[in-house]
Copies of this chain bind each other. A is one copy, B any other.
Amino acid sequence: MKNKNKAVWGGRFNNATSKIFEKIGASIDIDKRLYEEDILGSIVHTQMLTKQKIINRERGNKIISGLKKIRSEIRKNKFKFNKKYEDIHLNIEKRLFTIIGNDAGYLHIARSRNDQVITDFKLWIKKASKEIVKNLNNLIKNFLKKSAGNIHTIMPGFTHLKNAQPISFAHYLLAYVEMFKRDKQRFKNNIENLLENPLGVAALAGTTFNIDRNYTTKKLKFSHPTNNSIDTISDRDFVTDFLYAASVCSVHISRLAEEFIIWNSDAFGLIKLNDRIVTGSSIMPQKKNPDQLEFLRGKTGNAFGNLFSMLTILKGLPLSYFKDLQDDKELVFKSFDQTKYSILIFNDILKNFSVDKKRMFELANKGYTTATDLADYIVIELKVPFRKAYQITAKIVNYAEVKKKRFDELSIKEIKKIEPKLNEEVLKIFDLKNSIKSKKSYGGTSFENIKKMINKYKKELK
């Protein structure tokens, strides 16, 4: 027997592929995840070939029923994937030959693996992006629920992790709603990019067969065929777009995770995590560690790594196809899984933590968090420039600090020693609730604003 090469291109080759590369280079372990899209694409391609009379109806039906059989085998876990056939496309093609014989050889008319794999992959990422959008909607709903229950929970708003101004805990949570809304928009923008149908550009130049790309476009729920066959083969923007969107989403999650880890420390003590979402130590019997939050925070590293891997692969790569690109799928699958699970875990966390409202309030009252309110008050009452009011306030803060008193422990007498024009009314300024109430400017933390905003978000979700 002469030819040892079992690949579809075997006829051209004198030697089998090197064993080590057959093992390492095969992508089937990864890309088998595309089987639904691959078979759907092949069915639609066959339907088009039949419609265009490129193959006859009988043959077309035979191919389609063979493909459906394979799909059923895979779904039922009865399909045997084989590294020898490299990837999902060739595994399915080989099996099709076994099932329907040489008519399987008609399937690859007017198609290359190059356009086939991109079609599969775009369909997959579109599906995945939609799933993430759905999951983000769920997450937002949970944030809104938690917010609705915490409108009047007063916490210290931080800048530089120092107490800055009193805010509503709901207002803090709604900041994340804004972030996740942007994340959704990013995935939605990506979906727009995924509506171009690659099928039919063949290897890189188009095909001589009289194919109908509008037909496959419609059947595969794309919106229009791609304009340039070379770009179609070379383009992986849709891959980096996905990985980037996942990275930013991961950044948002990491920021909340970080802050909750800090708030969960014995020193802060602002939140309490249910046993379901903490983990113990193998040696320290008292420990309850926020492992899940740390897990979420750490995963950002992977999200970045995946994005950077793909960008590196693409940099300086000539057109059109190179094997370098093969890693795109593993990177996307990993980032997708991670994003999805991170959101699920976050939902879990939202349901399994409680707020120590008393401690929050107490901490919010430390650090002279109403100093800006005081300066604002002085501007209005004393009719001085803000910079002047700022200086008067700074003096009062410095005094209170030396005396180790909170603002609300100062007497009007002490205040008058620093600024005689102030009167008793000033003391109301030090009330945290008043402070929050007064932040009525659009986007501010006033309780009224928050209620309206929660309603607004709820309507948007409908």
Contacts and interface: CB of A to CB of B under 8 A. Distances in A.
Q: Which of A203, A232, A341 has the most CB of B within 10 A?
A: A203
B290 A160 contact: yes
B289 A160 contact: yes
A235 interface: yes
Contacts of A394: 9, 11-12, 285-286
B280 A7 contact: yes
How many interface residues does chain A have, given as a range?
35 or more
Question: What 3 A-B pairs have minimum CB-CB distances, sorted nearest first?
Answer: A206-B444, A9-B280, A105-B385
Contacts of A138: none
B113 A282 contact: yes
A254 to B, nearest CB: 5
A283 interface: yes
Given A240-B248, A295-B324, A301-B315, 20 more contacts: A11-B285, A11-B390, A12-B285, A24-B341, A90-B282, A110-B441, A159-B321, A159-B322, A160-B287, A167-B205, A179-B231, A203-B281, A205-B439, A213-B441, A225-B443, A226-B443, A285-B372, A286-B397, A287-B371, A300-B312
A230 B294 contact: no
Given A164-B204, A312-B300, A105 B159 contact: no
B387 A276 contact: no
Given A292-B25, A311-B251, A313-B301, A320 B158 contact: yes
5 contacts: A17-B279, A18-B348, A25-B295, A162-B266, A174-B228
B202 A283 contact: yes
Interface in A198-246: 200-211, 213-214, 225-235, 237, 240-241, 244
Interface string A50-72: 00000000000000000000000
Contact of A316 (B13, B300, B385, B436): B300
Interface in A5-46: 5, 7-18, 20-21, 24-25
A167 B232 CA distance: 14
Contact of A167 (B204, B316, B397, B436): B204
Contacts of A316: 254-255, 257-258, 297, 300, 315-316
Contact of A318 (B234, B255, B348): B255
A9 B281 contact: yes
A422 interface: no
Interface stretch (A74-82, A126-134, A267-275): A267-275
Contacts of A315: 251, 254-255, 297, 300-301, 304, 312, 315-316
Given A268-B268, A439-B208, A203 B284 contact: yes
A355 interface: no
Q: Which of A248, A259, A390 has the most CB of B within 10 A?
A: A390
A283 B17 CA distance: 18
A377 B109 CA distance: 11
Main secondary structure of the interface of A (DSSP, over half): helix
Contact of A276 (B7, B16, B89, B322): B16
A153 interface: no
A426 interface: no
Nearest to A97: B387
Contacts of A294: 160, 322-324
Interface string A154-177: 001111111111110001101111
Contacts of A287: 9, 12, 159-160, 162, 164, 371
A225 B442 CA distance: 7
Contacts of A137: none
A223 to B, nearest CB: 14
Contacts of A182: 193, 235, 237
A324 to B, nearest CB: 3
A134 to B, nearest CB: 17
